[in-house]
Amino acid sequence: REEKLREASYLQAVHETGARTTHDIKNLLQSLNVLCSVATGSDYRDSAQLNALVRRQLPLVAQRLAQTLERLQRPQAEPESYVSATIWWDAISRQYQSEGVEFSPARIAADARLPRSLFDSVADNLIRNALAKRAAEPGTRVRVSLEGGSLRVSDTGSAVPDSIADGLLRAPIASSGGLGIGLYQAARQAEASGYRLLLETNRDGEVCFALLEQVTAAASADSR
């Protein structure tokens, strides 16, 4: 019986790792596509601006790909690694700088640290979904903020439909807009790390997802 439980636990870890890895690779591919699009554009070809962009972005993509490969090779659960919140914020800001994402000045303590894998996964999922919405709804603004241990990604597009919002983050949802397995896996990862991922605001012109520490999330829910 114990052996079967261990096997089931391992298979579950493999399944969850595969789902997360697939989504991570999709995000990395989108980042590379953006670089390729910029590189082939007449405005940037052979320019110093393009060279600077490539020097900034390629090391970040390579680092994220290495992390994804490592997770794929070792699907069992491992302790989360923590990094400087300031360093993480600078890196994610640079990563999406060329895609028109607005980053508010971070409001964090100088010595603050955060779980890197969790924040990488959640930020990529939320930002990519918002950028996909912007592609379908031109003029939509995408904003990201980090205050204390709370990460928020908001957009000025249309609200998430009630039929999707009701089950969002609680179960995988079939959605052409990218709100399916990726966010579900991110929500589960958040819970395992003592955080909560939630749709904090949902109305036309103001849609905001928030990653909050469990204590902060509970206080936020009580204040509503």
Q: Classify domain 80-224 at the CATH topology level.
A: Heat Shock Protein 90 (3.30.565)
* Higher-confidence position of 131 and 67: 131
* Higher-confidence position of 163 and 143: 143
188 φ/ψ angles, rounded to the nearest 5 degrees: -65, -40
- Distance CA(53)–CA(193), nearest Å, equals 33
Average model confidence (pLDDT) across the chain: 79
Question: How much is the pLDDT for 105?
Answer: 92
β-pairing, 195-203 vs 142-147, is unpaired
Terminus-to-terminus CA distance in the chain, angstroms?
A: 46
- Distance CA(24)–CA(62), nearest Å, equals 12
- Render pLDDT for 34-65 as a digit per residue (tens, 0 to 9): 777 767 766 655 677 677 767 777 777 777 77
- Render pLDDT for 169-207 as a digit per residue (tens, 0 to 9): 887 766 555 556 678 888 888 998 899 999 999 999 999
Burial class (CB in 10 A: 0-12, 13-18, 19+), 52: exposed
Q: Which range among 26-35, 37-46, 153-162 has the greatest average pLDDT?
A: 153-162
Amino acid type, 54:
V
Overall residue count recorded for the chain in this entry = 224
pTM for the full model? Answer: 0.67
Q: Of 79, 73, 80, 81, which is closest to residue 14 (Cα–Cα)?
A: 73
